[in-house]
């Protein structure tokens, strides 16, 4: 009977794992529109976290930073160095806020998904997940990056910006043009795929051994999440810097 009981439990666990689905989301009905509620709900949580950290770290600024101020200045220094290394000493300063926003808008949601399994929170019609777990979020971030580097190139070089599509030879015009469409595709799909895969693995393991898996799985998830945010921000800075280069 004991063996039979174990077999039944394993079967039930397997059934629960097979029930982990992708794309089951909670929606709000607003007039004639359906609003994807998962992203706003979890984004508000992330925004609240960032706002609290900013308020706490800047409420008592001192000439010699200590404690929270020291931490926030370290983060700003890291973002500034990242932007300068990718864009150069002459061009990087106006773009630090943008690159910093992109980095934090990915880093904090990624860590929220890695440190807290959103999928265990039951919503009326689906599961919750980190904002970057949704393809709409990653595509929006990638498109913002595209707008940024097009703006940077046109603002710096004017109409001569279009000459980059014919370098080093006009024969490469179709390929160089296609590259601008593959950049946001690559950025969005890489971020979405990695975060989705990480959360699915955690969701499956938590359903099997909920009292054991979350803690050991947390460090690899946090590391992967941080790396994805760094890759996205570095790529955004590199693309923007590249668009301002003189190709003649």
Higher pLDDT, 34 or 212: 34
Across the range 38-57, mean pLDDT stands at 83
pLDDT tens for 139-196 read 999 999 999 988 988 888 887 777 777 777 778 788 878 888 888 888 898 888 888 7
Across the range 50-61, mean pLDDT stands at 82
- 37 contacts 27 by C-beta, under 8 angstroms: yes
Per-residue pLDDT band at 126 (split at 50, 70, 90): low
Residue 9 has pLDDT above 60, yes or no: no
Question: What pLDDT is stored for residue 114 in this prediction?
Answer: 66
Question: What pLDDT is stored for residue 231 in this prediction?
Answer: 92
Q: What is the DSSP string of 169-230?
A: -GGGHHHHHHHHHHHHHHHHHHHHHHHHHHHHHHHHHHHH-TTTSHHHHHHHHHHHHHHHHH
Across the range 102-115, mean pLDDT stands at 82
Task: Tell me what the pLDDT averaged over the chain comes to.
Answer: 77
Residue 235 has pLDDT above 60, yes or no: yes
CA distance 216 to 199: 14
Per-residue pLDDT band at 209 (split at 50, 70, 90): low
Higher pLDDT, 113 or 84: 84
Question: What pLDDT is stored for residue 85 in this prediction?
Answer: 92
């Amino acid at each position: 009977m004991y063996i039979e009981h174990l077999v039944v439990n394993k079967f039930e666990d397997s059934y629960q794992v097979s029930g982990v689905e992708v794309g089951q989301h909670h929606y709000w009905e607003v007039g004639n529109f359906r609003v994807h509620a998962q992203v706003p709900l979890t984004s508000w949580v992330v925004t609240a976290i960032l706002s609290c950290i900013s308020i706490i770290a800047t409420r008592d600024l001192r000439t010699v930073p200590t404690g929270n101020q020291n931490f926030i200045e370290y983060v700003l220094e890291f973002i500034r160095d990242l932007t300068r290394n990718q864009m150069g000493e002459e061009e990087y300063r106006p773009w630090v806020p943008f690159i910093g926003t992109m980095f934090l808008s990915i880093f904090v949601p990624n860590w929220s998904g890695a440190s807290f399994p959103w999928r265990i929170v039951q919503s009326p019609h689906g599961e919750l997940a980190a904002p970057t777990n949704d393809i709409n979020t990653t595509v929006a971030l990638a498109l913002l990056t595209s707008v940024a580097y097009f703006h940077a190139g046109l603002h710096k070089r004017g109409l001569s910006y279009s000459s980059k599509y014919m370098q080093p030879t006009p024969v490469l015009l179709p390929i160089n043009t296609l590259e601008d469409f593959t950049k946001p595709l690559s950025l969005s799909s890489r971020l979405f795929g990695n975060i989705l895969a990480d959360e699915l693995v955690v969701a499956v393991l938590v359903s099997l051994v909920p009292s054991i898996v979350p803690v050991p799985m947390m460090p690899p998830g946090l590391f992967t999440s941080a790396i994805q945010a760094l890759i996205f921000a570095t790529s955004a800075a590199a693309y923007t810097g590249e668009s301002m280069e003189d190709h003649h």
